Chains A and B, each alone.
Chain A
Amino acid sequence: MKQAKDIHEQTGWRDMTPGCEIYESGTSRLTITGEWRVITPKWLEDKCKQCVLCAPFCPDSSIPVRDSKRLNFDYDHCKGCGICAKVCPFGAIEWKEEG
């Protein structure tokens, strides 16, 4: 069965799936939307109280949480929208243009 990772912009029409069906879930991971980011949020770990409010607000599921604690951003998929910085009650996420 053809996998999404095998279909790309060089794939010929004979090698695509009928009706562009996709035979697996979670294939959005393959698209590195992090490249679209203009402003990069920074996690200030020392200020973070691990309230984890940022994670559910992230529209791109780019704040991984493990054992009830957030980890650093998934920069492959974070589009830099800044919502996490806005909702953080402790100023633990820096979100500003560099330079």
Chain B
Amino acid sequence: MSIRERLSGNEAVAYAMRQIDPDVMGAFPITPSTEIPQIYSRYIADGLVGTEFIAVESEHSALSTCIGAEAAGARAVTATSSAGLAFMWELLHVASSSRLPITLACVCRALTGPININNDHSDSMNARDAGWIQIYAENNQEAYDNYLQAMPIAERSEVRLPIMVCQDGFITSHSVENIELLEDETVKAFVGSYEPENYLLKHDNPLAVGPYGVSSYYMEAKMAQAQAMVCAKQAILETGQRFGDLSGRYYGLFEAYRMEDAETAIVLIGSSAGTARVCVDRLRAQGRKAGMVKVRVYRPFPGEELADALKGVKAVAVMDKCESFSTHGGPLGAEVRSALYDASVHPLLINYVYGLGGRDFAVTDCETVFNALDEAVAADSAKPVYRHLGQRGGDLSGL
């Protein structure tokens, strides 16, 4: 039986955490993720969970706490945003290379500067090569559902990687919407308990973690990490299927919406996907063959699968809520373009940077993108292939 509720994205994640009751939480408050440890502290104070909450002086220490706890054999969680995630930078790599399946609720927010508290993906995208699994939510429901799937994915023995469950700051974290919750017992049975094979506090044999690895071992260690990320894809698919059987809500690597006969398509991540879905419906009602791909899993990146989903379209717009200053697009654009290189047919591709620092993305903005795609198809050229959406002052000079 599901429970009909209304919760914000942050409340939904805290609720999922309560149902899981992890062993340790190390966290330091930062907008817009602050409510997660705040609400969870109340659960602890009310005696609803047995989690050891470790209040620290920084995000660096928050993740260090999780690393120590997870290595010791505990299930550890944290939550952060923006500068907080940036301050975890070094430890993100320690966690993944030590193969510690920590769960981090990332409430995505712009990085400074100028100083800004609103949503974009510059924090999580800056951490994209840190060896963490990254799953993004469109709304509070997905933030909740993804959180419940995080540990069953990350803790599998062939995976053993930390996982970032991302949602859009304020847009989903602070927006109250309807949500279907699962019963506590259902969640506990689905997530299961954490039973690592080896851990620091295992009495029978002592364990050393985080050793020095000279050049003759370092590459092999990285290869093993890469293999774990390959295995994560299958784990994500199987867990998404198992979660669907339980809840009726099935999850894959991405959602392809009205893509079967689409001639133009938009590829994006997070809360904008709902807005794009509505836009696609409106365009379809006008007889335009528009489609949408919502990327749910960014790490591991579903390159081949995406290329296959896009193979029939004439033009595609890839939307990055993050500027990477490469001078030819953002991180999602680079991944999709790279995935399409090996495909037999290439659609025209425009990579848009949009929604930075909380800049709104309305249905009309999405329509602008589809109009640009139609123009590209008519002209048989996507130039300029790297644009900012809705910039005052036009495209970049000198490209």
Residues of A within 8 A of B (CB): 1, 7, 9, 11-14, 16, 18-25, 27
B220 near A23: Cβ-Cβ < 8 Å: no
**Chain B residues near A19 (CB-CB < 8 A):** 97-100, 160, 209-210, 221
CB<8 Å pairs between A and B, sample of 16? A1-B205, A9-B216, A13-B219, A13-B224, A16-B224, A18-B99, A19-B97, A19-B100, A21-B98, A21-B99, A21-B208, A21-B209, A22-B207, A23-B205, A25-B206, A27-B208
Q: List 14 other contacts, CB 8 Å, given A7-B217, A16-B221, A19-B221.
A: A9-B216, A9-B217, A13-B221, A13-B224, A16-B224, A18-B160, A18-B224, A19-B99, A20-B211, A20-B217, A20-B221, A21-B207, A21-B209, A24-B206
Q: In whole angstroms, how far apart are the Cα atoms of A25 and B220 in the complex?
A: 22
Residues of B within 8 A of A (CB): 97-100, 160, 198, 205-211, 213, 216-217, 219-221, 223-224, 227-228
**Chain B residues near A18 (CB-CB < 8 A):** 99, 160, 224, 228
Q: In whole angstroms, how far apart are the Cα atoms of A21 and B217 in the complex?
A: 12
Q: In whole angstroms, how far apart are the Cα atoms of A22 and B217 in the complex?
A: 13
**Chain B residues near A20 (CB-CB < 8 A):** 210-211, 213, 217, 221
Looking across the interface, which residue of chain A has its beta carbon closest to that of B224? A13
Q: In whole angstroms, how far apart are the Cα atoms of A24 and B208 in the complex?
A: 7
Nearest-neighbour CB distance to chain B for A8, whole angstroms, equals 9
Q: In whole angstroms, how far apart are the Cα atoms of A9 and B208 in the complex?
A: 19
Q: In whole angstroms, how far apart are the Cα atoms of A52 and B389 in the complex?
A: 77
Contact residue among A1, A12, A21, A24 (Cβ-Cβ distance under 8 Å from B220): A12
B198 near A21: Cβ-Cβ < 8 Å: yes
Nearest-neighbour CB distance to chain A for B42, whole angstroms, equals 35
**Chain A residues near B220 (CB-CB < 8 A):** 11-13, 16
**Chain A residues near B227 (CB-CB < 8 A):** 13-14
B211 near A22: Cβ-Cβ < 8 Å: yes
B217 near A23: Cβ-Cβ < 8 Å: no
**Chain B residues near A7 (CB-CB < 8 A):** 217
B224 near A14: Cβ-Cβ < 8 Å: yes
A24 near B205: Cβ-Cβ < 8 Å: yes
Looking across the interface, which residue of chain B has its beta carbon closest to that of A19? B99
**Chain A residues near B209 (CB-CB < 8 A):** 19, 21
Nearest-neighbour CB distance to chain A for B154, whole angstroms, equals 13
**Chain A residues near B210 (CB-CB < 8 A):** 19-20
Chain A to chain B: the 7 pairs with minimum beta-carbon distance, closest first: A19-B99, A13-B220, A13-B223, A22-B208, A19-B98, A18-B99, A9-B216
Q: In whole angstroms, how far apart are the Cα atoms of A16 and B198 in the complex?
A: 14
Of the candidates A13, A22, A24, the one having the most CB atoms from chain B within 10 angstroms of its own CB is A13
Q: In whole angstroms, how far apart are the Cα atoms of A9 and B227 in the complex?
A: 20
Nearest-neighbour CB distance to chain A for B295, whole angstroms, equals 28
**Chain B residues near A16 (CB-CB < 8 A):** 217, 220-221, 224
Q: In whole angstroms, how far apart are the Cα atoms of A93 and B217 in the complex?
A: 38
Q: In whole angstroms, how far apart are the Cα atoms of A99 and B99 in the complex?
A: 52
Q: In whole angstroms, how far apart are the Cα atoms of A64 and B346 in the complex?
A: 71
Q: In whole angstroms, how far apart are the Cα atoms of A53 and B191 in the complex?
A: 57
Given contacts A1-B205, A9-B216, A18-B160, contact A23 B221 (CB under 8 A): no
Q: In whole angstroms, how far apart are the Cα atoms of A11 and B214 in the complex?
A: 13
Q: In whole angstroms, how far apart are the Cα atoms of A19 and B102 in the complex?
A: 14
**Chain B residues near A27 (CB-CB < 8 A):** 208
**Chain A residues near B100 (CB-CB < 8 A):** 19
Q: In whole angstroms, how far apart are the Cα atoms of A1 and B202 in the complex?
A: 14
Q: In whole angstroms, how far apart are the Cα atoms of A27 and B210 in the complex?
A: 14
**Chain B residues near A23 (CB-CB < 8 A):** 198, 205-207
Nearest-neighbour CB distance to chain B for A30, whole angstroms, equals 13
**Chain A residues near B217 (CB-CB < 8 A):** 7, 9, 16, 20
Q: In whole angstroms, how far apart are the Cα atoms of A43 and B389 in the complex?
A: 78
Nearest-neighbour CB distance to chain A for B178, whole angstroms, equals 41
Q: In whole angstroms, how far apart are the Cα atoms of A62 and B119 in the complex?
A: 59
Q: In whole angstroms, how far apart are the Cα atoms of A25 and B207 in the complex?
A: 7
Q: In whole angstroms, how far apart are the Cα atoms of A1 and B227 in the complex?
A: 20
Q: In whole angstroms, how far apart are the Cα atoms of A34 and B218 in the complex?
A: 24
Looking across the interface, which residue of chain B has its beta carbon closest to that of A25? B206
Nearest-neighbour CB distance to chain A for B226, whole angstroms, equals 9
**Chain A residues near B219 (CB-CB < 8 A):** 13
Looking across the interface, which residue of chain A has its beta carbon closest to that of B94? A19
Looking across the interface, which residue of chain A has its beta carbon closest to that of B205? A23
**Chain A residues near B208 (CB-CB < 8 A):** 21-22, 25, 27
Q: In whole angstroms, how far apart are the Cα atoms of A72 and B99 in the complex?
A: 42
